[in-house]
Structure 1
Amino acid sequence: MRTCVRYFLLLSLAIAVVQCQRRRPTKPTPPQRKPHIQKPEPKEPTDFPPVIFGPPSIFPDCPKECFCPPDFPTAIHCENRNLRKIPVIPARTQHLYLQNNFIDEVTEDSFKNASELRWLNLDNNRIKKVERSVLEKLSSLLFLYLGKNNLQEVPGFLPPNLEQLRLCKNQISKIPSGVFNKLEHLSMLDLNHNKLTDGDVGKNIFKGLKNLVQLNLAHNSLKKMPTNVPLNINQLFLDRNNIEDIPSDYFKSLSKLAFLRLNNNLLTDKGVPKNIFNISSLLDLHLAHNKLHNVPIFSHKLEHLYINHNSIAKINGTEICPFPVMAIDWDKEDEQPHLRFLRMDGNAISPPIPLDLIMCFRNLKSIVI
């Protein structure tokens, strides 16, 4: 019995000592420094997915990155292949499609054999430079598409037989002097969505473009109408510039102009001479999103008129009617006003449609007010 009591007392004493040690404050241990680990330098970001190779071809000269259709041996399709570089193009090629890739330069090596090329599409790449020697040797080229790239100026030494040149959606702020002088066959020039100013489209820039039909200078930074526009022009697009006025004799020599777009500019009544749009060749006139207070006078042959989103508060059908209503011979089509579509919404005009407007323009198929 005494042994048991003694054992119990010793056990109690041991427990008390342990509890006392637990309550004793301990010195806080300083935080250990983490060893310095040198991080690897971040790699240059890349958004280049792997190149997509074309299917097996029956043509031994077909670039492995492209598709060469057996039923159209003059065409080579290299579009949407994630290319960074243009492959060597076979001599038989006349139609070459390279759009939607990551190409940043057009070099001579790729085209050293392709002297018969007639159609070249390089839209939607990253092209900053086109080597002079490339275009000099492509004397048969008719269609050159370089839209949506990173060009800062119009490429020089363009092939003299070009019929269409598309340079839209680049960063072009310079047109080298004389670059278009030898392009007598060019019918379409597209320079919309660039950074052109009045100084970039000086009076001799379009010299030599005798057969130009369509000129697109929309989405630039022009404050004035471009000078010396080719006389054969049929379509002139100047939307989304900063044009404030039009010279009174501007359209005098443009006897074939049929489509004119001046939407989203800064035109006011003061900057638009009274009869400036009274052009017998004009069929389609766009003046939306300007600062006009009155509807301008136009030819009886005009078919479509867009004057929406201006500051027009009223419209007088008698004033804009090309002829006195009572004098119009409705049996003779050439003596009737041809207006078929009229858009006037976004102004301060309220319905109903004025009766004198309906009496004059009886061929109207659609009117938005």
Structure 2
Amino acid sequence: MKAGAGLFSALALFLLMEAVFTQRPRPRKPTRRPATVKKPSVPRPAVPIQPEPQEPTDFPPPILGPPSVFHDCPRECLCTPDYPNSLNCENRNIRAVPVIPFRTHYLYLQNNYISEVTAEPFVNATEVRWVNLANNRIHRIDNQVFEKIPALLYLYAHRNQLKEVPSGLPASLEQLRLSRNHISKIPAGAFKNMGNLTLLDLYHNQLSDSDLARGTFKDLKNLVQLNLAHNTLKKMPDGVPSGLIQLFLDRNRIDDIPKDYFKDFTHLAFVRLNYNQLSDKGVPKAVFNISTLLDLQLSHNQLTSVPLFSSHLEHLHLNHNDINSINGTLICPYSLQALGDLSDFSLGPRLRYLRLDGNHLNPPIPLDVILCFRHLRSIVF
């Protein structure tokens, strides 16, 4: 009986151990990854070198407008039914003048990047009266351009890069604005037969005395305003039309005025000679004693005395010179006794504005100045 019980216990122990051993995880054999086969390297195709852009990269792209009711309107311009005779192409970033429709009277091309003006776009533009090319980069205007627009009245080409006055200008022209260019040459006959021109603006260029021949302005019979300020002139220009009303010569190097320079002028009312090199030696005593003169500007020069002037002068600018005294008796167009006898003060000197600051003068204003110029309303002293 005991032997059977022991046999049973041994059998049970054997089964229990087998169950424990069967629950242990069997170790797995390490698996090897297949060796990577290296593919032979294939050379990458070379990237082709891109050519440099033809147009300057600092120019923004042209601005194209919406389709217009006018079939002939260039896309880079604006054409409105309210102004059917106007072609508005300003501020459009364009590089060349577009084809101008026949109906155009007013052509606005300012504030763009145009470098030259050729004749082709103007083939049908025979009715144009007004052309504004200001603030571009124009260095050349073909002579044939103006053959296409024979009735042109106003040509504005200021703020460009022109080196000479364009040739072949139409005889119909009334205003020519060429300021702020690089003009150092006026071709012979540039203003030939231009008897209708009233305004010629050559301000801020590079013109010298040798560039203004005596006959340069001889055909400009109706010229009213001549602006030669901010050039390199040392002398007063020759051959200026006698009917001129406004002569502007500021910011040159003029140091001498011939004593009879103004004697043939019949309507001269405004003379500006600010920022020159005028001294008493270069200004004859009575050179400005002109009955038509209303406004005389001589500021920023080297004058030590007040020049004589007529009783009709209304504005006198003498600021920033070397004047150290002023004698009202000497500069008064009338004697003080004669003025005292006048019952009508309106017949006396008409000077209303006098500027003397920036000199070597000390207040008070001399009494004889006050007694002479009784219409003075403003004195800057």
TM range (shorter): 0.7 to 0.9
2:367 is aligned with 1:352: no
Report deviation, 1:56. Answer: 3.3
Letter in 1 for 2:73: C
- 1:199 alignment counterpart: 210
2:285 is aligned with 1:274: yes
- 2:353 alignment counterpart: 341
Cα distance in 2 for partners of 1:249, 1:258 equals: 17
Q: CA RMSD in A?
A: 1.6
Query: Structure 2 matches for 1:1-369, cutoff 5 A?
Result: 46-328=57-339, 330-332=342-344, 335-369=347-381
**2:167–2:190 CA contact under 8 A, matched in 1:** yes
Q: Bigger radius of gyration, 1 or 2?
A: 2
Cα distance in 1 for partners of 2:84, 2:153 equals: 18
SS class of match (2:216): coil
Cα distance in 1 for partners of 2:292, 2:192 equals: 27
SS class of match (1:327): helix
Letter in 1 for 2:378: S
Q: Deviations over 1:271-316 (max 9, x none)?
A: 0000000000000000000000000000100000000000000111
**2:186–2:212 CA contact under 8 A, matched in 1:** yes
Q: Taking every aligned residue pair, what percent have the same amino acid on both sides?
A: 60
Letter in 1 for 2:336: V
SS class of match (1:289): coil
TM-score (structure 1 length as normaliser) = 0.87
1:356–1:112 Cα change, 3 Å: same
- 1:30 alignment counterpart: none
Letter in 2 for 1:139: P
1:45–1:137 Cα change, 3 Å: closer
SS class of match (1:270): helix
Report deviation, 1:110. Answer: 1.1
Letter in 2 for 1:357: V
- 1:20 alignment counterpart: none
Report deviation, 1:60. Answer: 1.1
Cα distance in 2 for partners of 1:45, 1:175 equals: 31
1:123–1:331 Cα change, 3 Å: farther
Cα distance in 1 for partners of 2:331, 2:303 equals: 15
Cα distance in 1 for partners of 2:342, 2:269 equals: 24
Letter in 1 for 2:283: V
- 1:28 alignment counterpart: none
Q: Deviations over 1:60-102 (max 9, x none)?
A: 1111111112111111111111111111010000000101111
Report deviation, 1:45. Answer: 5.9
Letter in 1 for 2:297: H
SS class of match (1:160): coil
TM-score (structure 2 length as normaliser) = 0.84
Report deviation, 1:182. Answer: 0.9
Letter in 1 for 2:234: K
Cα distance in 2 for partners of 1:332, 1:138 equals: 56
Where do 5+ consecutive residues of structure 1 fail to align?
Answer: 1-38
Letter in 1 for 2:62: V
- 1:5 alignment counterpart: none
Letter in 1 for 2:360: A
- 1:17 alignment counterpart: none
Report deviation, 1:184. Answer: 0.5
Aligned length: 331
Cα distance in 1 for partners of 2:101, 2:324 equals: 63
Report deviation, 1:334. Answer: 5.7
SS class of match (2:379): strand
Cα distance in 2 for partners of 1:307, 1:105 equals: 43
Q: Deviations over 1:235-265 (max 9, x none)?
A: 0000000000100000000121000000000
